[in-house]
Amino acid sequence: MTGREKIMGRIREALTVPAPHPGAHDAHGSQAPHTSFKGRPVHVARSWMPPGGDTFEEQVVRFRAASTELKTDFRFVGSRDEAFAELARIRDTEGWKSVATHRAELPSAAAASLGLPVIHTDEGYDVDALESCDVGVSGCDVLVAQTGTVVVTNRSAGGRALSVLPPHHVVVATRDQLVRDLTAAFARVQETYGARYPSMVSFITGPSRTGDIERILVLGAHGPKKLTVLCW
């Protein structure tokens, strides 16, 4: 018998006796009716979770509020040119000397507009070179209003390391990429990729952080200390 067969055998044996329905022990009050999350319209499940906003405007407000709390630098501007101008301003403030990106249209154009040496990750890259870049510019799949999250995959963001190794991560996004909540985000990811998912799908919510020292928030523990989201 293989390891799999042994464990599966034990599982099947164990499950021959049924277990009580969850939440059955609630002695009083708070018991929600036995309605299953599964098989119910998505908008009902949504009704329990924190809100993401019904309209585009509400969603922008929500994303902006979340970003402020997370210390994500969120800039919602009128056009691509404005966005690239913002990026140049950040370059000057931060003193960037080198940038890494990937060959998708928007991030590539954004990086090129900076007039700095550029590394592209798409055909492979030298890790030390990537490590010494000041900023990684990437695209994304969706922005999530409910949580202030940026969803990337290794396909939409130039690999696994680009969005996490350089100390500053810049995301370029267009307004049609803003969705209401995590349910919508997962649906969008599933629609986009079908069954051939990229091997990494990452929900990034703010810059890297830790509270491990006396529960005091410190940014830039291992991942980027700064996260900028440019959206137009």
Nearer to another protein, 9 or 117 (CB): 9
Q: Applying CB under 8 A, does 43 fall inside the site for another protein?
A: no
Which of the residues 163 through 192 are near another protein (CB under 8 A)? 164-165, 181-183, 185-187, 189-190
Cα dist from 92 to 33, 36, 58, 84, 120, whole Å: 57, 53, 32, 13, 22
Q: Applying CB under 8 A, does 104 fall inside the site for another protein?
A: no
Q: Applying CB under 8 A, does 78 fall inside the site for another protein?
A: no
Spatial distance between the Cα atoms of 178 and 184, rounded to a whole number of angstroms: 10
Nearer to another protein, 26 or 81 (CB): 26
* Binder of another protein out of 14, 92, 95, 191 (CB under 8 A): 14
Spatial distance between the Cα atoms of 61 and 53, rounded to a whole number of angstroms: 8
Spatial distance between the Cα atoms of 140 and 158, rounded to a whole number of angstroms: 10
Q: Applying CB under 8 A, does 95 fall inside the site for another protein?
A: no
> How far, in whole angstroms, is CA 72 from its chain's centroid?
12
* Binder of another protein out of 59, 121, 177, 228 (CB under 8 A): 121
Nearer to another protein, 7 or 85 (CB): 7
Query: Residue 143 CB, nearest distance to another protein (Å)?
Result: 13
- Site size with another protein, rule: CB under 8 A: 95
Spatial distance between the Cα atoms of 69 and 34, rounded to a whole number of angstroms: 35
Spatial distance between the Cα atoms of 183 and 96, rounded to a whole number of angstroms: 37
* Binder of another protein out of 23, 56, 115, 129 (CB under 8 A): 23
φ/ψ of 113, rounded to 5, equals: -65, -15
Query: Residue 1 CB, nearest distance to another protein (Å)?
Result: 10
Neighbours of 110 (CB within 10 A): 24
Q: Applying CB under 8 A, does 54 fall inside the site for another protein?
A: no
